[in-house]
């Protein structure tokens, strides 16, 4: 583990409801530092490339439509064991299974509209960060 960086997205269901500050507060309270952050509106093609690993899944088209429907906040979080810590703070993918106090328990609307995305491993974190940010945009 050690000191890590992970990639995070605050999804359209959360930006629409003006929840970005409340979600960032949960990251910061958990000891994660936001070292890069920007608000973007992805095209469906950009969302499709980001989620390419899910391209054979039945929910892929709906996922890409949703992620390109409205602006998102893409961000890089840094800290001790940042990848697993972020996944703890997010809670389970399905909000019905998410532990109390997690972002998805408090804010997610459904399995698809689940407020946040976070990298699942160091390799994917590196790929996902590089998809949205250049090195000089990461300010630790």
Active site residues per annotation: 117
User: Scanning the structure block, which residue is given the tokens 């990461």?
Assistant: 138
Positions 22 through 81 that interact with ligand CMP (CB under 6 A) = 54, 59, 63
| Minimum distance, C-beta of residue 48 to ligand CMP, in the bound complex (Å) | 12
Q: How far apart are CA 41 and CA 136, in angstroms?
A: 21
**120: Cα within 13 Å, side-chain hemisphere:** 4
- C-alpha to C-alpha distance for 16 and 108, rounded to whole angstroms: 12
Rounded CA separation 35/3 (Å) = 13
Identify whether the C-beta of residue 28 lies closer than 8 Å to the C-beta of residue 34: yes
Rounded Cα distance between 60 and 40, Å, is: 20
Of the pair 84, 93, the CB lying nearest ligand CMP is at: 93
Q: Which stretch binds ligand CMP (CB under 6 A): 23-31, 38-46, 98-106, 109-117?
A: 109-117
Question: How near is the Cβ of 59 to ligand CMP at its closest, in Å?
Answer: 4
Q: Which is nearer to ligand CMP, 8 or 24 (CB)?
A: 8
Cα separation, 132 vs 108, in Å, equals 24
**30, 34, 105, 111: residue in contact with ligand CMP (rule CB under 6 A):** 111
Give 35 or 92: the residue with its C-beta nearer to ligand CMP: 92
Total interface residues for ligand CMP by CB under 6 A = 8
> In this chain, which residue has its C-beta nearest to ligand CMP?
117
Question: Which positions touch ligand CMP (CB under 6 A)?
Answer: 54, 59, 63, 93, 111-112, 114, 117
């Amino acid at each position: 583990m050690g000191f890590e960086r992970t990639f995070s997205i605050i999804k359209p269901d959360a930006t629409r409801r003006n929840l970005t500050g409340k979600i960032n507060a949960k990251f910061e309270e958990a000891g994660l530092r936001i070292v890069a952050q920007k608000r973007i509106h992805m095209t469906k093609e950009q969302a499709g490339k980001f989620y390419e690993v899910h391209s054979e899944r039945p929910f892929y088209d709906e996922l890409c439509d949703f992620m390109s429907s409205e602006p998102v906040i893409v961000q890089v979080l840094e800290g001790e064991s940042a990848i697993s810590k972020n996944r703890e703070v997010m809670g389970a993918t399905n909000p019905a299974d998410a532990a109390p106090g997690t972002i998805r328990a408090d804010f997610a609307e459904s399995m698809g509209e689940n407020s946040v995305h976070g990298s699942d491993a160091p390799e994917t974190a590196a790929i996902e960060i590089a998809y949205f940010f250049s090195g000089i945009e990461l300010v630790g």
